[in-house]
Amino acid sequence: MTVIDTVELEPAHAEIVKATLPLVGAHIDEITAEFYRRMFGNHPELLRNLFNRGNQAQGAQQRALAASIATFATHLVDPELPHPAQLLSRIAHKHTSLGVTAEQYPIVHENLFAAIVAVLGAETVTAEVAEAWDRVYWIMADTLINMERGLYSAAGVSDGDVFRRLRVADRVDDPSGTVLLTVAGADWPHFVAGQYVSVGVTLPDGARQLRQYSLVNAPGADGLTFAVKPVDADGDHPAGEVSNWIRANVAVGDLLDVTVPFGDLPTPGPAPVVLISAGIGITPMIGMLEYLLAQAPDTDVQVLHADRSAAGHPLRERQRELVDALPSATLDVWYEDTTGLLNLDEVTLPADAEVYLCGGNGFVQAVRRQLTSRGIPAARVHCELFGPNDWLLD
């Protein structure tokens, strides 16, 4: 993870931000709802072609952006608090995976500040208050812009130029219903285990929607392989748009828009590794196991996986094969319909392990709490979330 020095706020601005943080915090959901309403009203193409409209429909993304700014402001006014480096790194990798560029930051700024005035009122957002929060925004934006430039440059692409049209070289339908696709012909040299690509598809209504998929093959192999689990409809929740479109439409020989890989999970080994996943959260763990088998097979590896049922367990066979092929690896699996939920109390963890965690937000939060109560320092727990991160204020 990149460690970033942040510029400090001037004392006068820090005082104002400190005094108004509770007010902004109390109205954060209204501010961000108003912000997105304005921004997508002024720039409809951003919702159609860049932002994830499934996340927008659920409000998850709105909360993530707002919470991240409040978390960052909290750090600026109290530098004793832990530096939000992990938060910034996650956002920067997500942004680069979508091709976000510096030119777009003024659009977010303009609409966000108009929303703050609309919600809190011009009598509260005086010129001084606006100026102080402006500084917070631009310190955070400049930090992200610099990190994103660094990531583009490290990947060998010009800013925002992340999509490549690649040919689908292989498609395998896993018994769990998950679709494995391999695309070939990428012009970038390597990726790191646990990274993801964004895939862009044009849906039947003409919208171009982007989604992220973690790589499940070993770095250095030909092509990039990712696994897409179609999201079924469930009660009030409609079926996932992109995942089902991919399952129904993508065949060997087709061209698919796929980005350069990004993502900041640290490379596993040589310290003991614990991989904990639920459902389709298995994908980065398969990438890690493939890497370990190819590059560091003597690493101690403990794999823990939770799923609804054996039948729905994605990449089940490959997970078993990889664990069997690694001389110091073990596998424990929990199925909700037979053996119940994953319970860390039943597991002995190596004291010095690096823990990798991936699944839905509820699962990741619950396991993180269990790990903390077992005395595992947060710095040794590395999470990947498949939805926007909504626990940033924790």
Binding residues (CB under 6 A) for ligand HEM: these are 46, 50-52, 55, 61, 64-65, 68-69, 90-91, 94-95, 98, 100, 104-105, 107-108, 137, 140-141, 144, 388-389
C-alpha 259: how far from chain center: 15
User: Is there binding between residue 213 and ligand FAD (CB under 6 A)?
Assistant: yes
Q: Which residues pair with 168 in a beta bridge?
A: 183
Neighbours of 284 (CB within 10 A): 25
Sole binder of ligand FAD in the list 165, 208, 237, 374 (CB under 6 A): 237
Please give the Cα distance from 141 to 137 (Å, whole number). 6
Binder of residue 95, out of ligand HEM, ligand FAD, none (CB less than 5 to 8 A by kind): ligand HEM
| SS3 of residue 227 by DSSP | strand
Give the separation between CA 142 and CA 317, rounded to whole angstroms: 45
Instruction: Please identify, using beta-carbon distances, which residue of 145 and 197 lies nearer to ligand FAD.
Output: 197
- Residue with token string 């530096």: 83
Residue 268 interface partner, choices ligand FAD, ligand HEM, none, CB cut-off 5-8 Å depending on type: none
58 binds ligand FAD (CB under 6 A): yes
Q: With contact defined as beta carbons under 8 Å apart, do 31 and 24 qualify?
A: yes
User: Which residues, including other chains, have CB under 8 Å from residue 194's CB and lie 6 or more apart?
Assistant: 214, 215, 263, 265, 267, 284, 287, 288, 356, 384
CB-wise, 111 or 212, nearer to ligand FAD? Answer: 212
What is the distance between the alpha carbons of residues 379 and 82, in angstroms, rounded to a whole number? Answer: 11
Tell me which of ligand HEM, ligand FAD, none is bound by residue 90, counting a contact when its beta carbon lies within the kind-specific cut-off of 5 to 8 angstroms.
ligand HEM
For ligand FAD, give the closer residue by CB, 174 or 336.
Answer: 174
Q: Which residues of 54-65 are buried (b: 16+ CB within 10 A; e: fewer)?
A: bbeeeebbbbbb
| 212 touching ligand FAD, by CB under 6 A | yes
- Least distance to ligand HEM, CB of residue 372, Å: 20
227: which 2 tokens? 């696994």
Cis peptide bond upstream of 270, omega within 30: yes
| 96 forms part of the interface with ligand FAD (CB under 6 A) | no
From the list ligand HEM, ligand FAD, none, which binds 69 (C-beta under 5 to 8 Å, kind-based)? ligand HEM
* Residues noted as catalytic: 105, 148
Q: Nearer to ligand FAD by C-beta: 58 or 365?
A: 58
Q: Which residues of 143-160 are buried (b: 16+ CB within 10 A; e: fewer)?
A: bbbebbeebbeebebebb
Distance in Å, CB of 52 to ligand FAD, minimum: 6
In the complex, the smallest distance separating the C-beta of residue 364 from ligand FAD, rounded to whole angstroms, is 12
Using CB under 6 A, list all residues that contact ligand FAD: 52, 54, 57-58, 196, 211-214, 226-229, 231, 236-238, 240-244, 280, 283, 384, 386
